[in-house]
A and B are shown apart, each in its own frame.
Chain A
């Protein structure tokens, strides 16, 4: 509460602040530097944040020119400076608010002859200082295809997108979010393809955000989400360029935030989360096959251990006669009911994953081996779990790794537990009940106002070409209809199909 009121007071003060007041305030900081010197009777003072600017730029583009070129001139005014200084972004202003934000963004303020009102703002920001120059997209790795990923610098990211989408219709709309971080956020879409209503929704939601610091794009993701109490991610967030470009071409909107290597694209459907760029780089039969395997993996991962619990607790009739022996034998020494046995192993695997993610890579590798082999084997030998369950849980964990989007694989990790509880309370009926609840929930979800379960609900037959399977490129000429794109055809399908024989 006290922090909140502090900001409120500050805001009301800001309106009446004068330039000397601002300077006094900034001078409290030790990295706020001030250079003053005289050239031919002109008193020049330069203010800047030492930590934000590039000293090389200051020397080469400002100080050098001021000391060498100014002496040759008869008179010097503020408005002459943009011609003297070889800096791309330079402006003359007397607006205190602009001065403050620009100073905080790495501009230098130059005052001439103690003219206290007007000043020149020169861009000397060192954009890449401390940021990595490139990203090998290792979190969403694909063997085939480009391996360039987005980085923390939004300028670089926009550059990467513009380089691939060479069209004047690619629109970037910039805005600033965060009362303290003043993060630059860019909404990208292709004019003439993307539905304006979607763009409007996105822009409006972003504008409505009241927050102090935007650490990452995922914060925006949560704040603009249609249903914040759902475990399912409603927008794809990716660090791959091809994914974002494909989404834009389909008619989606992409949101970039400065300082985040992840880009949000939406509106998304459930199937976007099981799509990997590799599906499009492989022949369509292989791409479809691997996509189906992935979807099977998700179902297996969420249902395997609940079914184990339900069958062993309630439905022993269902066990095939040849499996009865191994299951009973491996369970005969386990002192727990199936539910505790399953929870024990599932939580062990979750612990392993968490530990693996928090530790340095080299240690994590060792941990994986120790956890996977030693703990698994030991827990079976200590009769804490059964052999059969160990295999089921390990396979389920493996299957959940196949989801290409990290957010979705987290959801799948989570969704298993309520189903396990349903299975232990009500057996098979419980599982069916849980699946029904899940389907109802999914059917009600929306992503930027468009349905999440499309093309299944509502049924869109034509959109099936790129959902469960990835049809060949001649089949995916038409953009999916749920996005309501302004033009449906990605390219002229007749031209593409034309046969060009040599002798005609």
Chain B
């Protein structure tokens, strides 16, 4: 009995040690932007104020500092409630900032136990602050606009899967480089423009949205994405486009090192549906289908080649080819591999099956 009383006493005494973070008594920031201007770092945070049920009003807090570490503490000096980053869904880096390296910020995010690994990271062309201001200004917009946009595009469109967890995996993993979605300001809107490529935590190049479909296919099995290609009719001398929807795609790599030049064969198999096509194309006809298929195969092959050339030129490896080769060779050495990275002969083989053309005769 005495012991129980003692435990209860301790329990009561311990209540003074607790760290209250009652949900409505903190300022929950849901998006954070990092910029660098004249050597000063600028942090922008979007936090919601909840009005009527699910309706939210986004608000913006900005602060600047000479280091990235104390941006969040400095935001607190402008806020009535303690700033809490536990519900952070998106971190947006300005292009300048990204070029200078995002390692410090990502390290701090990775160590922060409040932050989930499904946090989205992104790069903005120009200032992150400007983009965040646009999303906050729009009527009826919510604070999760950008993170929802990224997630939606991953789920249904051309963006390969990414989040903090995958970023860290690519960042720390040997033989692979991370990449992030890339945003651009288009008038009063924010537009997803493609993928930003990173090398050692520094922004080095980008891939447009059309080619990011290829990145998606090359990375792993995928069930969505759109791809447009040109078709030309030699009789009519007129050029038009066909829109293909990916239904299921998978890629397989094969690594051979015979003689001097290593060869990487990439076989890609895409099962696609033809979404839209010009009226003069008689789709159900076997010849037309074959023509579109072959056209597409060729098109993708050259695109993949071009893409790989771009990667080689920028010396980045977002596809994790180094990691793949590591799994196939004994005594793999990272430095050695990337020294001859440019020499790799990449041979894409694309096979397209058109399995749907829509309802019609």
A interface list, Cβ under 8 A from B: 311-314, 316-317, 319, 321-322, 324-329, 331-332, 334, 337-338, 425-426
Q: Which chain A residues lie closer than 8 Å to B28 at the CB level?
A: 316, 324, 328
Q: A316-B86, A326-B54, A329-B53 are in contact. Are A425 and B18 (CB under 8 A)?
A: yes
Secondary structure at the B interface, as helix, strand, loop or mixed, is: loop
B359: interface (CB < 8 Å): no
Q: A316-B84, A316-B87, A325-B48 are in contact. Are A338 and B22 (CB under 8 A)?
A: yes
Q: Which chain A residues lie closer than 8 Å to B329 at the CB level?
A: none
The distance in angstroms between the C-alpha atoms of A325 and B55, with both chains bound, is 7
Q: Which chain B residues lie closer than 8 Å to A326 at the CB level?
A: 53-54
Contact A328 B116 (CB under 8 A): no
The distance in angstroms between the C-alpha atoms of A333 and B50, with both chains bound, is 12
12 extra interchain contacts, Cβ-Cβ under 8 A, other than A313-B21, A326-B54?
A312-B22, A313-B22, A313-B23, A316-B84, A317-B87, A319-B23, A325-B48, A328-B50, A329-B53, A331-B23, A331-B24, A334-B24
Give the number of residues in B that approach A within 8 Å (Cβ atoms). 29
Q: Mark B1-40, 1 if CB is under 8 A from A, else 0.
A: 0000000000100110011111110101010000000000
Q: Which chain B residues lie closer than 8 Å to A313 at the CB level?
A: 20-23
Q: How far is the CB of B96 from chain A (nearest CB, A)?
A: 30
Contact B87 A314 (CB under 8 A): no
Contact A329 B51 (CB under 8 A): yes
The distance in angstroms between the C-alpha atoms of A334 and B24, with both chains bound, is 9
Contact A317 B114 (CB under 8 A): yes
Q: A325-B54, A325-B56, A425-B11 are in contact. Are A317 and B24 (CB under 8 A)?
A: no
Q: Which residue of B lies closest to A313 (CB)?
A: B22
Q: Which chain B residues lie closer than 8 Å to A317 at the CB level?
A: 86-87, 114-116
Option from B11, B52, B87 in Cβ contact (under 8 Å) with A324: B87
B157: interface (CB < 8 Å): no
The distance in angstroms between the C-alpha atoms of A425 and B24, with both chains bound, is 18
Contact B20 A425 (CB under 8 A): no
Q: A313-B22, A319-B23, A331-B24 are in contact. Are A325 and B86 (CB under 8 A)?
A: no
The 8 A-B residue pairs with the shortest CB-CB distance, nearest first, are: A317-B86, A329-B50, A316-B23, A331-B24, A325-B54, A328-B50, A312-B23, A325-B50
The distance in angstroms between the C-alpha atoms of A324 and B84, with both chains bound, is 14
Q: Which chain A residues lie closer than 8 Å to B54 at the CB level?
A: 322, 325-326
Q: Which chain B residues lie closer than 8 Å to A325 at the CB level?
A: 48, 50, 53-56
Q: Which chain B residues lie closer than 8 Å to A425 at the CB level?
A: 11, 14-15, 18
Q: A313-B22, A316-B21 are in contact. Are A321 and B51 (CB under 8 A)?
A: no
Contact B24 A332 (CB under 8 A): yes
Q: Which residue of A lies closest to B50 (CB)?
A: A329
The distance in angstroms between the C-alpha atoms of A319 and B48, with both chains bound, is 15
Contact B23 A327 (CB under 8 A): yes
Q: How far is the CB of A291 from chain B (nearest CB, A)?
A: 35
Q: Which residue of A lies closest to B88 (CB)?
A: A317
Option from B14, B26, B50, B86 in Cβ contact (under 8 Å) with A332: B50
Q: Mark B42-63, 1 if CB is under 8 A from A, else 0.
A: 0000001011111110000000
Q: Which chain A residues lie closer than 8 Å to B115 at the CB level?
A: 317
Secondary structure at the A interface, as helix, strand, loop or mixed, is: helix
The distance in angstroms between the C-alpha atoms of A443 and B216, with both chains bound, is 52
Q: Which chain A residues lie closer than 8 Å to B30 at the CB level?
A: 321
Interface-central residue, B21, B23, B50, B56, by most chain A CB under 10 Å: B23
The distance in angstroms between the C-alpha atoms of A425 and B19, with both chains bound, is 10
B89: interface (CB < 8 Å): yes
B308: interface (CB < 8 Å): no
Contact A314 B50 (CB under 8 A): no
Residues of B74-104 whose CB lies within 8 A of A: 84, 86-87, 89
Q: How far is the CB of A319 from chain B (nearest CB, A)?
A: 7
Contact B24 A321 (CB under 8 A): no
Q: Which residue of B lies closest to A386 (CB)?
A: B24
The distance in angstroms between the C-alpha atoms of A311 and B19, with both chains bound, is 13
The distance in angstroms between the C-alpha atoms of A319 and B28, with both chains bound, is 12
The distance in angstroms between the C-alpha atoms of A37 and B48, with both chains bound, is 100
Q: Which chain A residues lie closer than 8 Å to B24 at the CB level?
A: 328, 331-332, 334
B144: interface (CB < 8 Å): yes
Q: How far is the CB of B20 from chain A (nearest CB, A)?
A: 6
Q: Which chain B residues lie closer than 8 Å to A311 at the CB level?
A: 23
The distance in angstroms between the C-alpha atoms of A322 and B20, with both chains bound, is 23
The distance in angstroms between the C-alpha atoms of A338 and B20, with both chains bound, is 11
Q: How far is the CB of A417 from chain B (nearest CB, A)?
A: 14
Q: Mark B162-194, 1 if CB is under 8 A from A, else 0.
A: 000000000000000000000000000000000
25 contacts between A and B (CB under 8 A): A311-B23, A313-B21, A313-B22, A313-B23, A314-B19, A314-B20, A316-B84, A317-B114, A317-B115, A317-B116, A321-B89, A322-B54, A324-B23, A324-B48, A324-B50, A325-B50, A325-B56, A326-B53, A327-B23, A329-B50, A332-B50, A337-B20, A338-B22, A425-B11, A426-B18
The distance in angstroms between the C-alpha atoms of A331 and B50, with both chains bound, is 10
Q: How far is the CB of B32 from chain A (nearest CB, A)?
A: 15
Q: Which chain B residues lie closer than 8 Å to A312 at the CB level?
A: 22-23
Q: Which chain B residues lie closer than 8 Å to A319 at the CB level?
A: 23, 87
Q: How far is the CB of A270 from chain B (nearest CB, A)?
A: 24
The distance in angstroms between the C-alpha atoms of A426 and B19, with both chains bound, is 9
Q: How far is the CB of B53 from chain A (nearest CB, A)?
A: 5
Q: Which residue of A lies closest to B52 (CB)?
A: A329
Q: Which chain B residues lie closer than 8 Å to A337 at the CB level?
A: 20, 22
